[in-house]
Amino acid sequence: MKTFLPNQIFTRNLLLGLVFLFLGAFQVHAQDYVDLNPSTACEPADPNANCTSNSADVIGAYIGLYDGTEITDANIGTLPDGDAYVFIKVNRNGKKYDLFAQFDLVVYKNDGTKGSTFIQAFAAGEIPLGTSVHRIYQPIPNYIVSGEISSLVGIENTVVGWDNDNDGMPTCIVGNYSACNAEIPDIIAQGPFIVVPTYEAINCNGETTSVEFLVSGGTGPYSVTFNGSTINSSPAIFNNVGAGSYTWTASDSDGHSDGGTLNLGEPDAISASYSVTTPISCSGGTATIDIDGNGGTPPLEYTLTSDGTSNNTGIFSGVPVGDGQTYTIIDANGCSFEGTFDIAPGDGEAPTGTAPDGTTGINACYIDEFTPPIGTPDFDPIAVASNYSDPGGVTAELTNTSITGTNCSWEVTYTFRVFDNCSNELTNQKIVHR
C-alpha cells in the first residue's frame, strides 16, 4: 500500500552550497553520479527488517553543472552561464537500497533575501558501496551569470532514509522504527568563496536585529568587518544592529575578498490623533470618538483601556465622560502605542437668569380667584424664556396661576419653570402683577 510523504521538518540539518566570482582557467572533470528524482510516494517500514542506523551517511556536498563538473574558485571564470545543481556525497556500509532524501532547498541571495523549495528525492535500486555522488533534480536557476555567482545554496531540515529490500520504493520516514534513517550533521558544500548576509527584519521602530554573515569556500579562517567590529569566524553574528545603511567587508586567508552595503529598514513609528465625532449632549450621556493611527505595520488594532473594547477601525461609541482616558494601538508585528483622550461632560446645568418684573399700577378691580382683573398681561413663555440663557436652549412653562386680593387691592402670580434640552430646570419662578 502506498502513502504520501508529509511536508514537515524532522531534524534541522544544514548543507550549504556556496558561490562567488573568482577567475581562473582550471577545469574540474565531470563526475559520475546517480540521479535523485522527484518522489512523493513511499511504503510503510518493515518492522522485521534488520536496519542499522547511519548505514548510509551524507558525508559531503558540492555545487556543480548538470554533468557533475564541480564549480570552484579555480574554474568559475571558464564556465558557461546557466543553472547549477546540488550534488551530495553518500557513504554506504552494507547492502542498502532505495535512497530517499527530504529537505528544504534554500537559496540565499547576497542582498539578504532568500527563497525555499521543499524537496523529496529518491533513487531506486542498490545504493553504491562506499562513496557515491547523487545529483538532486531541482536546478538552481541562473546560478552563473557573466562569470559571477552571487547566491548561497543550503540544504536544511534534512533527513535521509533507505531500506533492505530492492523493490524500487522508498520507506516512509514518518512512523519508521528509526534504524533505516540517518541524522545528517551540518556539512559545508565544496564551492567558491562567497559571503552572504542574512538577518531578520526589524519589526518595530527603534528596535534592533542581528546580522549574520555566512562565509564559505576559499580557505579559512575568515574575517568579517561590519559596523566597526570584526569577527574572525563563520558564521559571523553581529547583534543589536539598528536600522540604517552599513558597509561590510570579508576575506579569507588566500586573499579572496568581498564587500558591500547592507540597508536595514524599519517600520515608521506608530502615532495617532483622535476626534470626538459625537460629543456628550446631556449629563449622563456617552460620546463617539474616532482614533486615527498611522505608521507601524498594518493592520492596526485599537483598544480602549477602560473596558477592553477592540476593533480595527478606531471608532468607538458609548464612551463615558472623563479626561486622560487611555487607549492602545497594536500593529501586525506586535508593536504598541499608547495615547490618551478627553471626553467633556454634557450639559448638566440648569438655565441661568431671573424672572421678568411684573406689571404694577393696573387700574382694575378684583373679580374672583379664577379671573385675572382686566388689563393683567397674559403669561408669554417666549418672552419669559428670553430672560434666561443655556447652551441647550431654554423653554418656559407656566405651572400655576394664583389670584388673590379684594376690591382694588389684588395680585396675580404666575409660577413657572424654565428648562433646557437636557431637562435641566429651574422651578418655582414667579411673576407678580398688581
Map residue 381 onto helix, strand or coil.
helix
Rg (CA), the chain: 43
Q: Are residues 35 and 149 in the same domain?
A: yes
Q: Residue 391: inside a domain, yes or no? A: yes
Q: Are residues 119 and 182 in the same domain?
A: yes
Q: Residue 194: inside a domain, yes or no? A: no
Q: Residue 321: inside a domain, yes or no? A: yes
Grid cell of 135 as nine digits: 545529483
Q: Are residues 79 and 120 in the same domain?
A: yes
> Would the pTM count as exceeding 0.75?
no
Indicate the residue among 168, 188, 208 that finishes a domain: 188
Nearest one of 177, 165, 217 to 196, comparing CA atoms: 217
Q: Are residues 239 and 118 in the same domain?
A: no
What is residue 147's predicted lDDT score, i.e. its pLDDT?
A: 75
Q: Residue 47: inside a domain, yes or no? A: yes
**CB 271, CB 295: distance < 8 Å:** yes
Total number of domains in the chain: 4
Q: Are residues 162 and 27 in the same domain?
A: yes
User: pLDDT category, 30, cuts 50, 70, 90?
Assistant: low
190/429: higher pLDDT: 429
User: Chain-centre distance of CA 188, in angstroms?
Assistant: 33
User: Cβ neighbours of residue 285 under 8 Å, at least 6 residues apart?
Assistant: 346
Q: Are residues 223 and 276 in the same domain?
A: no
**CB 79, CB 144: distance < 8 Å:** yes
Among the ranges given (186-195, 221-230, 360-369), the one the predictor scored with the smallest mean pLDDT: 186-195
Q: Are residues 330 and 306 in the same domain?
A: yes
Q: Are residues 27 and 142 in the same domain?
A: yes
What are 306-340's pLDDT values in tens digits? 999 999 999 999 999 999 999 999 999 999 999 99
Q: Are residues 61 and 179 in the same domain?
A: yes
What is residue 319's predicted lDDT score, i.e. its pLDDT?
A: 96
Q: Residue 33: inside a domain, yes or no? A: yes
Q: Residue 193: inside a domain, yes or no? A: no
Sign of CA dihedral 176, 16, 68, 139: positive
Torsion-angle region of 408 (φ positive above 0: left; ψ -120 to 50: alpha; else: beta): alpha
**CB 115, CB 138: distance < 8 Å:** no
Taking the C-alpha atoms of residue 35 and residue 88, their distance in angstroms, rounded to an integer, is 10
Q: Are residues 27 and 146 in the same domain?
A: yes
What is residue 16's predicted lDDT score, i.e. its pLDDT?
A: 35
Q: Are residues 403 and 317 in the same domain?
A: no
Q: Are residues 331 and 398 in the same domain?
A: no
| Residue 281 domain boundaries | 271-343
Indicate the residue among 325, 343, 361 that finishes a domain: 343
Grid cell of 51 as nine digits: 536496519
Indicate the residue among 343, 372, 393 that finishes a domain: 343
Q: Residue 374: inside a domain, yes or no? A: yes
